[in-house]
Amino acid sequence: MNEPAGLYVHIPFCKSKCGYCNFYSIPSTADMPFFINALSAELKMYAETFSRFDTLYIGGGTPSLLAPIDLARIISELDDVFAFSTDSEVTLEVNSADCTPIYLRGARRMGINRLNIGVQAFDGAILDFLERRHSPEQSLRAFEIARGAGFDNIGLDLIYGIPGQEMESWLAGLDLAVSLNVEHLSCYQLTLEPGTPLGKRHADGEFALPDGDRQAEFFLKTSKTLEDSGYIHYEVSNFARNEGLISRHNSKYWDHTPYLGLGPSAHSFQDNRRWENHPSLPLYLEEIKMGKAPVASSETLTGEELQLESLYLGLRTKKGIHLEDFKKLHGYDLMLEKGKTLAALEKEGLVEVSGGYLRPTRAGLAVADSLALI
Amino acid sequence: MDNIRNFSIIAHIDHGKSTLADRLIQFTGVSNERTFKDQILDNMDIERERGITIKSQAVALPYRALDGKEYTLNLIDTPGHVDFSYEVSRSLASCEGVLLLIDAAQGVQAQTLANLYLAMEHSLEVIPVINKIDLPSADVERVLEQIDAELGLDPDTHLKCSAKEGTGIEEILEAIVERIPPPKGSTEAPLAALIFDAQYDSYRGTVIHCRVFDGTVKSGDIIRFMYNNSTYKVEEVGHFLLLRQKRESLSAGEVGYIIAGVKTVSDVRTGDTITLNERPCSVPLPGFKEIKPVVFASIYPIASDDYEDLASSLEKYTLNDASFVYQKDSSVALGQGFRCGFLGLLHLEIVQERLEREYDLSIILSVPSVRFRFTLRDGSLIEVDNPAHYPDPSSIQESEEPYIRAAMMLPERYLGAVMKLCMDKRGVNSTLNYPAPGRAELTYEMPLAEVIYDFYDRFKSVTQGYGSFDYDLIDYRLSNLVLLDILVNGEKVDALSQIVHRERARARGLQACERLKEEIPRQMFKIAIQAAIGGEIIARTTVNAFRKDVIAKCYGGDISRKRKLLEKQKKGKKRMKMIGSVSIPQSAFLAVLKSDGD
């Protein structure tokens, strides 16, 4: 495979943990210097196996906790070891509270050309429920600063389906985002994982989540509102103002393009093999100290597993599944094997088959998981 | 022969039959602590779980009585459900007496009475035994009054025990010796042995359980089954301790087993008479009936790949269940399978459970049916036990369905509710007797099809478990029958079709739709469930689509996690049957026959 790979760097630090978050991070930056050194050693381990990237995504955790000098060091070391295409998409995830003009201008100068701001909500009460450490005002301010710093590709993360969230309030937040003319929006349905504080409170019966029909209402109204405003609903949770603003990095996860993940808990994929780094900073540091790749587990996918992934990932995207390619890749003719079911789903308005593609409709994206189980 | 006693224990459910049997076995030293398992006689898992005995069992208890003599007490255990009433009658026919066990706290109950009647039919000596006298709520005085007034037995003949604590056991053994008559018969007469059960042993073939009434049988003899005159050479005879114990011979009055190279249990008929080929007895022992399946359903593997596995499992299963019959069948909706005959719904459920449990199969059963009869316009008569073979309605001259006579015993206070139930079930020609004050004996003639349609569960429920119910097939009667089809999203599911009485069709259709709506989970699209007669839709329900998945996140490059989640869901889906694009769970097929609120 010659297409450029994607590069992800996981910064495993936060000032405080948000109640819903299931990503690996620790609420103290004390080990930051050790981490930066270890990361520097880790990236060199892949100098031979990954030749060229055209995306870099620095996520976490809270990457905006990186001091400018550390951020600069990480980027420059990556640039030294790996080849990046000239038009690379370089994204930094930031917390609104960390977005100062100087920090963002610095980031821009280091080559970061895309910002993803964790806004989550424009409603203070909802932010409190989610245990976020910033206010709606800070988010708006962060956006202005980012624009001022020269960022012309900004994405916002928002969450819906939160207990106590009114539809009007949610839609007003979307309108606000649209009025800002943001380039990219990720609208996630709140999902509670068992190990998280909110997950535990939910399991204890402290609050209930909206039911399936209500979730569907959130999803469908979000899709309609944003598409009516000109955004492309290109993946279950993702919207872009135009084709060119679709997250190139995330798209690699969804079409079996290789990607390398560095840092604790980061995931990688190459040559049908998936591996995952230790979701633990101490273990990560220890393995690197011993000169080993900090890989916790790895699996080589069978043809059947690849096929299921192609199916479920493809059905989460507006682009859908190219039927001929799917057949060539997996030796499975979807139209032949599942034609009857697909026809029923098409009649139901959940998918459409046209131009050689099988695509989910808006209603289909809402049930993408089940579509993959046909 | 004077030192032999053949007896059975009969009781209402939970009055302690198995516990008492265990105590007798323990007391007589057949089992030591090591081999002793609670309730030894119920030795199938299903029997323990359901608390009922499915197969008959026998055990010979060696007992030195207070008179100083050695006795062999043959305890013959009996199945406890109406589906198996013929087996019960054959077991009782092998005995000279019974222990009628009554719970000291609950007193005389429905089955106590029904069992007493059965025993009296066979002219058996009845010894009333009051069990559970250790309970604080025990009321022996009241039970004694009931024995007198309701059972019509002499209360002075009763014994008391606590099987749980092991008290009163010796008195019971003494009473068996003293009061139950020794078997009669002549060892010199031609052999006449009654088969009351048969079990399959993978090393020895069929082990025939029998009671010898006349003559002697030993290894090397050529025996003959009187119902079909087939002959076999006896390899081994013996009696039952907890395991088989080989003996020289079995003679008049004895209970034991015969192994004679009989391949499968279906070569043997319960109730048949075994005699010697050289010197046969002139007439078989009375009471033989060829029992025929009365309930039919098709079995399909959920995954069509499992067809061969199912075929070989059924073959193995029938080695040990002669009352189960099957033949190949195929369904438009469910593919290749087998049409099977059962003694009743409980028997059907037991077969289903054992196939899944012992042979690790995932199977679907079609909606059970009885065997209907149709006279066609061309004069031919056909029998149909599979709705898929329902004849073209325009070719039908007249249709008939099997009727049974239901005999019910119940406390008078439930009479109204039971009569209403029977009339709901198209019952006719009722008779009512009061064998004792407060105790009603009710008979009705009813279509068998109504009885398999959740009658037994509802009967138990309206009598709060105090009613007993038994039935005999009587005849076929003219009936206005129609074929009720079920359509799922417009597609006919033949395995859900039923042949029903025209007047009941609408209610049945609606009920089937409602039950299916409860059983079929919400899916990606709306599911229309319709009931139809001919082309006419008579009932419909809808299972609404779900509109949103729980979308576990798949961001940050962790693609495997969600894949694994989907793989798991896919496996769960494999336990459902796809009808067109609708997944129907296993439970839906039997649920059609159950009424609300089960």
Confidence of residue B551 (pLDDT cuts 50, 70, 90): low
- Minimum-distance CB partner of A212 among B526, B547, B573: B547
Q: How far is CA A117 from CA A66, A153, A222, B117, B550, in A?
A: 15, 11, 19, 84, 25
Residues of A within 8 A of B567 (CB-CB) are: 305, 308
Half-sphere exposure of A219 (CA within 13 A, CB side): 27
- Give the tens place of pLDDT for each residue, B372-390: 999 999 999 999 999 999 9
| Mean of the per-residue pLDDT values of chain A | 95
pLDDT exceeds cutoff 70 at A14: yes
B524 contacts B546 by C-beta, under 8 angstroms? yes
Q: How many CB pairs under 8 A join A and B?
A: 104
Give me the mean pLDDT over the B36-48 stretch.
Answer: 49
* Res A108: pLDDT: 97
Does residue A293 lie in a domain region? no
Helices A136-148 and A101-109: crossing angle, nearest 10°? Answer: 40
**Is the whole-model pTM more than 0.90?**
no
**CATH number for domain B192-276, candidates 2.40.30.10, 3.40.50.2000, 3.30.70.100, 3.30.300.100:** 2.40.30.10
Where in the sequence of chain B do the CATH 3.30.70.240 domains occur?
A: 373-479
* Res B53: pLDDT: 45
Reference B258, options B266, B247, B269, B267; nearest CA is B247
Q: Are residues A219 and A308 in the same domain?
A: no
- Interface pTM (ipTM) of the complex? 0.91
- Give the tens place of pLDDT for each residue, B69-79: 999 999 998 77
Q: What percent of chain A has pLDDT over 90?
A: 93
- Minimum-distance CB partner of B581 among A299, A309, A341: A341
Q: What percent of chain B has pLDDT over 90?
A: 51
Residues of B within 8 A of A22 (CB-CB) are: 553
pLDDT exceeds cutoff 60 at B42: no
Q: Does A309 touch chain B (CB under 8 A)?
A: yes
- Give the tens place of pLDDT for each residue, A246-260: 999 999 999 999 999
Interchain proximity A261–B557, CB inside 8 Å: yes
Question: Which of B488, B524, B562 to probe by mutation at the A interface, max A CB count within 10 Å?
Answer: B524
* Res B32: pLDDT: 53
Q: Does A307 touch chain B (CB under 8 A)?
A: no
Does residue A272 lie in a domain region? no
Interchain proximity A340–B569, CB inside 8 Å: no
Interchain proximity A372–B566, CB inside 8 Å: yes
Domain count, chain A: 2
* Res B81: pLDDT: 65
Distance from CA of A7 to the nearest CA of B (A): 10
- Domain containing residue A364: CATH number: 1.10.10
B-facing residues of A in 37-96 (CB < 8 A) are: 59
Contacts for A340 with CB less than 8 Å, ≥ 6 apart:
B580, B581
Interchain proximity A368–B552, CB inside 8 Å: no
Q: Are residues A333 and A216 in the same domain?
A: no
* Res B554: pLDDT: 63
Confidence of residue B583 (pLDDT cuts 50, 70, 90): confident
* Res A224: pLDDT: 97
Q: Does A267 touch chain B (CB under 8 A)?
A: yes
Instruction: State whether CATH 3.50.50.60 applies to domain B482-591.
Output: no
Question: Which of A255, A367, A371 to probe by mutation at the B interface, max B CB count within 10 Å?
Answer: A367
Q: How far is CA B492 from CA B238, B261, B485, B486, in A?
A: 55, 48, 7, 6
Question: Domain B295-366, what architecture?
Answer: 2-Layer Sandwich (3.30)
Distance from CA of A314 to the nearest CA of B (A): 12
A-facing residues of B in 453-492 (CB < 8 A) are: 489
* Res B353: pLDDT: 87
Highest CATH level, class, for B373-479:
alpha beta
Question: Which of B488, B546, B548 to probe by mutation at the A interface, max A CB count within 10 Å?
Answer: B548
Interchain proximity B566–A350, CB inside 8 Å: no
Give me the mean pLDDT over the B586-598 stretch.
Answer: 70
* Res B484: pLDDT: 95
Interchain proximity A308–B567, CB inside 8 Å: yes
Give me the mean pLDDT over the B43-72 stretch.
Answer: 71
Q: Does B581 touch chain A (CB under 8 A)?
A: yes
Question: Domain B4-179, what architecture?
Answer: 3-Layer(aba) Sandwich (3.40)
* Res B82: pLDDT: 63
Q: How far is CA B398 from CA B375, B393, B476, B504, B530, in A?
A: 5, 10, 12, 18, 27
Beta carbons within 10 angstroms of residue B27's beta carbon: 16
Reference A264, options A287, A231, A247; nearest CA is A287
* Res B33: pLDDT: 46
pLDDT exceeds cutoff 80 at A296: yes
**Of the candidate ranges A197-206, A232-241, A243-252, B339-348, the one whose mean pLDDT is the lowest:** B339-348
Residues of A within 8 A of B526 (CB-CB) are: 348
A345 contacts A358 by C-beta, under 8 angstroms? no
Q: Does B228 touch chain A (CB under 8 A)?
A: no
Distance from CA of B544 to the nearest CA of A (A): 11
Confidence of residue B596 (pLDDT cuts 50, 70, 90): low
* Res A68: pLDDT: 96
* Res B178: pLDDT: 96
* Res B54: pLDDT: 42
pLDDT exceeds cutoff 70 at B457: yes
Q: Are residues A43 and A167 in the same domain?
A: yes
Question: Which of B488, B522, B554 to probe by mutation at the A interface, max A CB count within 10 Å?
Answer: B554
Interchain proximity A212–B580, CB inside 8 Å: no
Interchain proximity A369–B559, CB inside 8 Å: no
* Res A93: pLDDT: 96
**Of the candidate ranges B35-44, B467-476, B540-549, the one whose mean pLDDT is the lowest:** B35-44
Residues of B within 8 A of A299 (CB-CB) are: 560
Q: Does A259 touch chain B (CB under 8 A)?
A: yes
- Minimum-distance CB partner of B569 among A250, A269, A373: A373
List the structure tokens of B235.
Answer: 């390899």
Does residue A357 lie in a domain region? yes
Interchain proximity B556–A59, CB inside 8 Å: yes
- Give the tens place of pLDDT for each residue, B349-371: 888 888 888 888 888 888 899 99
* Res B34: pLDDT: 41
Q: Does A190 touch chain B (CB under 8 A)?
A: no
pLDDT exceeds cutoff 50 at A43: yes
Q: Does B562 touch chain A (CB under 8 A)?
A: yes
- Minimum-distance CB partner of B550 among A191, A268, A313: A191
**Of the candidate ranges B36-45, B54-63, B155-164, the one whose mean pLDDT is the lowest:** B36-45
| Mean of the per-residue pLDDT values of chain B | 87
Considering only residues B345 and A114, tell me which one the structure prediction assigns the higher pLDDT: A114
Q: Does A237 touch chain B (CB under 8 A)?
A: yes
For residue B415, give the 3-state DSSP assignment.
helix
Q: Where are the alpha helices (DSSP H) in B76-200?
A: 85-93, 110-121, 140-149, 169-179
Confidence of residue B580 (pLDDT cuts 50, 70, 90): confident
Q: Does B292 touch chain A (CB under 8 A)?
A: no
Interchain proximity B580–A269, CB inside 8 Å: no
Confidence of residue B598 (pLDDT cuts 50, 70, 90): very low
**Of the candidate ranges A319-333, B37-51, B285-299, B301-315, the one whose mean pLDDT is the lowest:** B37-51
pLDDT exceeds cutoff 90 at B547: no
Where in the sequence of chain B do the CATH 2.40.30.10 domains occur?
A: 192-276
Interchain proximity B559–A313, CB inside 8 Å: yes
CA distance linking residue A337 with residue A343, whole number of Å: 12
Does residue A296 lie in a domain region? no
A-facing residues of B in 510-529 (CB < 8 A) are: 523-526
Where in the sequence of chain B do the CATH 3.30.70.2570 domains occur?
A: 482-591
Distance from CA of A70 to the nearest CA of B (A): 22
- Give the tens place of pLDDT for each residue, A54-93: 999 999 999 999 999 999 999 999 999 999 999 999 999 9
Give me the mean pLDDT over the B339-346 stretch.
Answer: 89
* Res A2: pLDDT: 66
Q: What residues make up the domain containing A367?
A: 304-371
Distance from CA of A330 to the nearest CA of B (A): 16
Q: Does A266 touch chain B (CB under 8 A)?
A: yes
- Minimum-distance CB partner of B559 among A266, A309, A369: A309
- Domain containing residue A214: CATH number: 3.20.20.70
**Of the candidate ranges A22-31, A179-188, B576-585, the one whose mean pLDDT is the lowest:** B576-585
The 3-class SS string of chain A reads CCCCEEEEEEECECCCCCCCCCCCCECCCCCHHHHHHHHHHHHHHCCCCCCEEEEEEEEECCHHHCCHHHHHHHHHHHHHHCEEEEEEEEEEEECHHHCCHHHHHHHHHCCCCEEEEEEECCCHHHHHHHCCCCCHHHHHHHHHHHHHCCCCCEEEEEEECCCCCCHHHHHHHHHHHHHCCCCEEEEEECCCCCCCHHHHHHHCCCCCCCCHHHHHHHHHHHHHHHHHCCCEEEECCEEECCHHHCCHHHHHHHCCCCEEEECCCCEEEECCEEEEECCCHHHHHHHHHCCCCCEEEEEECCHHHHHHHHHHHHCCECCCEEHHHHHHHHCCCHHHHHHHHHHHHHHCCCEEEECCEEEECHHHHHCHHHHCCC
Q: How far is CA B40 from CA B27, B53, B477, in A?
A: 14, 11, 44
Confidence of residue B595 (pLDDT cuts 50, 70, 90): low
pLDDT exceeds cutoff 50 at B416: yes
B445 contacts B429 by C-beta, under 8 angstroms? yes
Interchain proximity B552–A367, CB inside 8 Å: no
Give me the mean pLDDT over the A210-231 stretch.
Answer: 95
List the structure tokens of A326.
Answer: 């799917």
* Res B475: pLDDT: 94
List the structure tokens of A126.
Answer: 């909802």
Q: Are residues A322 and A247 in the same domain?
A: no
Distance from CA of A369 to the nearest CA of B (A): 6
